[in-house]
């Protein structure tokens, strides 16, 4: 972008330049615009990478965003879009992770043929699982992450990120299975035999690789025995009831 084009863009309130500077003027912003006017997109992107490496994420994000907003159809602009999302993802607070997730997902939807789409899907999953995975928490985020990782596996089996995605899928399936195990344990403690059986059979069929699958099978046999005893008691009770009904009053 030459100086004339940059000056014209600066007069447009919707231009990337004004977005970059927050629609405000000042010595710092003026100096930045002047510097960018004499740089090509590769140099600006490289400077953003240096800032990112130095953990100056806010400054890096401004330059990455500038490259993307100025060259949205350029391959380097696509990379800048992902790096903008990366600048949010590294912060690990909920607001930043949500912003990063929206950007990664938008990239995956907007550029289905981009060679970095597999990375965007990987990072969608990562933004959902940035915290500690716990089976007693809301599982919706884990299920969303699992969907993103599995989509990556299905669409890009040869991806350099496929091994990591597979590892994440294994870990998430273990947590989801553990959740169902905890639910079945609650049913067992309260003698809800049928509910426990349904949940245990679901684990057996859905998560055969679960680390506690031997315990699951053991509990299934136990519950089936309890249900058989319960059925036998009910049968005897009904027989006694019928006998009493047949006796003359």
pLDDT tens-digit readout, 133-188: 777 667 899 999 999 999 999 999 999 999 999 999 999 999 999 999 999 999 99
Within 8 A by CB and 6+ apart from 57, the residues are 51, 87, 90, 91
Burial of 44 (0-12, 13-18, 19+ CB in 10 A): buried
Residue 9, pLDDT score = 40
82: nearest Cα among 45, 63, 113, 107: 107
**Nearest-angstrom CA–CA distance, 97 and 167:** 21
Contact 183, 146 (CB under 8 A): no
Residue 92, pLDDT score = 86
**Nearest-angstrom CA–CA distance, 191 and 229:** 13
pLDDT beneath 50: ranges in the chain: 1-25
Radius of gyration of the chain (CA): 29
């Amino acid at each position: 972008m030459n100086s004339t084009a940059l000056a014209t863009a600066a007069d447009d309130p919707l231009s990337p330049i004004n977005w970059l500077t927050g629609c405000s003027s000042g010595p710092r912003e003026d100096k930045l615009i002047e510097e960018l006017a004499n740089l090509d997109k590769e140099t600006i992107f490289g400077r953003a990478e240096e800032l990112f490496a130095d953990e100056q994420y806010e400054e890096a994000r401004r330059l990455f965003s500038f490259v993307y907003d100025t060259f949205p159809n350029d391959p380097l602009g696509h990379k800048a879009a992902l790096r903008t999302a990366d600048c949010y993802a590294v912060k690990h607070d909920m607001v930043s992770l949500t912003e990063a997730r929206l950007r990664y997902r938008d990239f995956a939807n907007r550029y289905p043929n981009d060679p970095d789409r597999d990375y965007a899907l990987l990072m969608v999953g990562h933004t959902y699982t940035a915290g500690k995975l716990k089976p007693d928490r809301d599982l919706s985020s884990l299920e969303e992450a699992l969907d993103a990782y599995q989509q990556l596996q299905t669409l890009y089996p040869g991806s350099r990120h496929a091994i990591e995605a597979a590892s994440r899928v294994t870990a998430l399936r273990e947590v989801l299975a553990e959740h169902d195990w905890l639910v079945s344990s609650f049913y067992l403690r309260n003698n809800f035999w049928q509910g426990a059986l349904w949940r245990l059979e679901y684990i057996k069929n859905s998560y055969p690789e679960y680390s506690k699958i031997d315990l699951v099978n053991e509990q299934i046999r136990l519950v089936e025995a309890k249900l058989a005893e319960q059925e036998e008691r009910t049968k005897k009770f009904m027989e006694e009831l019928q006998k009493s009904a047949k006796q003359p009053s």
